Amino acid sequence: MSAGSDKFNRRRLRSSYASVVVSISLVLFLLGVLQLLLLNAGQVARMVKENFAVQVILREDISELDRMTMQKELALASYVKSVRFVSKDEAAKELTQQLEEDFISFLGYNPLQAAFDLRLHAEYVTPGQLIRIENDLDALEYVDYVLYDKPLLALMSENIKRIGIGLIFASILLLLISISLINSSIRLAIYSRRFLIKTMQLVGATPGFIRKPFLKRSALHGLLGAVVSAVLLAGLLSLLFSQLPELQQIMMPWHYAATLGALFVTGLLISLICTYFAVRRYLSLKTDQLYY
């Protein structure tokens, strides 16, 4: 009878430990996905900003030499990432492809002007910075006017801020939920050994001696959970890269390395802290309180 009861208790204990590892793994996996989104949100925002077009429309009387000189000066400007000259004929060809209609035949002439197509560094693609850059470009001798989509710029800047704030809020919320779930799983596992804790305390074992094996096992559970979550995350990234190869250009190797490090540290710390307080709770209870 006693052997059967011990076997049942051991099986139930292993089951509770397995549920702890599974809980930690799933929670850390979700945290890892969210952290990758946070890390790569900045890279995506940078790519979007650096694809924002600013056109410098040139006057008709600019010479080829002045045009080449201006292009070199713009290429050396601190805010310019790339500059491309678009002649009148090239501009007409691109617009014809967009409209799918030969507007030159209809009008009888080409109304477009030659221009420089600028791509700026991401930190300069803000409403305030672009107003300053526009004023500087307007002051150049052969510039007719500067053209860019101001409403789109304002909308893009606002959306990038909202997405960043939303991801930060979601990360904090998920972290709190994660701590709560892991804490509940660990407390349930230790609850099944509350009588063992009290017995050790009654025979004179110190609190540190009693906590030590629980903390060791908890650290192991945290590390196992981190390993499982890392494997799940690697599988998800492999699937995404096979379906969307362009994601490999966005995600930096250090993003994944930093996420793995965060998963192991988070899993270890949360497991140890939750276990410490759970064991301390049962150490402070009286024997008759263990039955409730």
What CATH number corresponds to the domain at position 67?
A: 3.30.70.3040
pLDDT for res 290 = 61
Is there a single domain that holds both residue 272 and residue 205?
yes
The domain boundary residue, chosen from 147, 179, 212: 147
Determine contact, residues 199/290, Cβ cutoff 8 Å. Answer: no
Determine contact, residues 74/83, Cβ cutoff 8 Å. Answer: yes
Instruction: Look at the block and give the residue holding tokens 């998920």.
Output: 174
Give me the number of domains the chain comprises. 2
Task: Point out which residues pair with 260 in neighbouring strands.
Answer: none
- Is 152 within a domain? no
Q: What angle do CA 236, 241, 246 make, to 5 degrees?
A: 140
The average pLDDT across 15-34 equals 81
- Is 97 within a domain? yes
Band of pLDDT at residue 5, cut at 50, 70 and 90: very low
Is there a single domain that holds both residue 167 and residue 28?
yes
The domain boundary residue, chosen from 147, 175, 203: 147
- Is 245 within a domain? yes
Q: Inform me whether the pLDDT recorded for 7 exceeds 70.
A: no
CA atoms within 13 A on the CB side of 12: 12
Which amino acid would we find at residue 184?
A: S
Determine contact, residues 273/180, Cβ cutoff 8 Å. Answer: no
Could you count the other beta carbons within 10 Å of the beta carbon of residue 101? 11
pLDDT (tens digit per residue) in 110-119 = 667 889 999 9
How far is residue 85's CA from residue 77's CA, in Å, rounded to a whole number?
16
- Is 96 within a domain? yes
- Nearest Cα neighbor of 150 from 164, 129, 170, 167 is 129
**What pTM value is reported for the model?**
0.63
The average pLDDT across 53-59 equals 90
Burial class (CB in 10 A: 0-12, 13-18, 19+), 142: middle
Q: Is 243 or 124 the better-scoring residue by pLDDT?
A: 124
- Is 109 within a domain? yes
Domain containing 40 equals 2-47+157-291
Is there a single domain that holds both residue 169 and residue 275?
yes
Is there a single domain that holds both residue 213 and residue 89?
no
pLDDT for res 1 = 41
The sign of the CA dihedral 24, 25, 26, 31 is positive
- Nearest Cα neighbor of 290 from 186, 185, 201 is 201
The average pLDDT across 22-30 equals 85
Is there a single domain that holds both residue 197 and residue 274?
yes
Could you count the other beta carbons within 10 Å of the beta carbon of residue 223? 16
The average pLDDT across 109-129 equals 86
Q: Is 2 or 21 the better-scoring residue by pLDDT?
A: 21
The domain boundary residue, chosen from 147, 170, 203: 147
- Is 285 within a domain? yes
Is there a single domain that holds both residue 87 and residue 226?
no
pLDDT (tens digit per residue) in 149-197 = 888 888 888 888 888 888 788 878 877 887 787 777 777 777 777 777 8
CA atoms within 13 A on the CB side of 72: 5
Q: Inform me whether the pLDDT recorded for 238 exceeds 50.
A: yes
pLDDT for res 8 = 46
- Is 166 within a domain? yes
How far is residue 189's CA from residue 14's CA, in Å, rounded to a whole number?
9
pLDDT for res 291 = 63
pLDDT for res 132 = 93
The average pLDDT across 217-235 equals 89
- In 193-254, the DSSP E strands lie at none
- Is 266 within a domain? yes
Band of pLDDT at residue 146, cut at 50, 70 and 90: very high
Q: Is 95 or 273 the better-scoring residue by pLDDT?
A: 273
pLDDT for res 72 = 93
Is there a single domain that holds both residue 41 and residue 132?
no
Is there a single domain that holds both residue 274 and residue 242?
yes
pLDDT for res 279 = 84
Band of pLDDT at residue 227, cut at 50, 70 and 90: very high
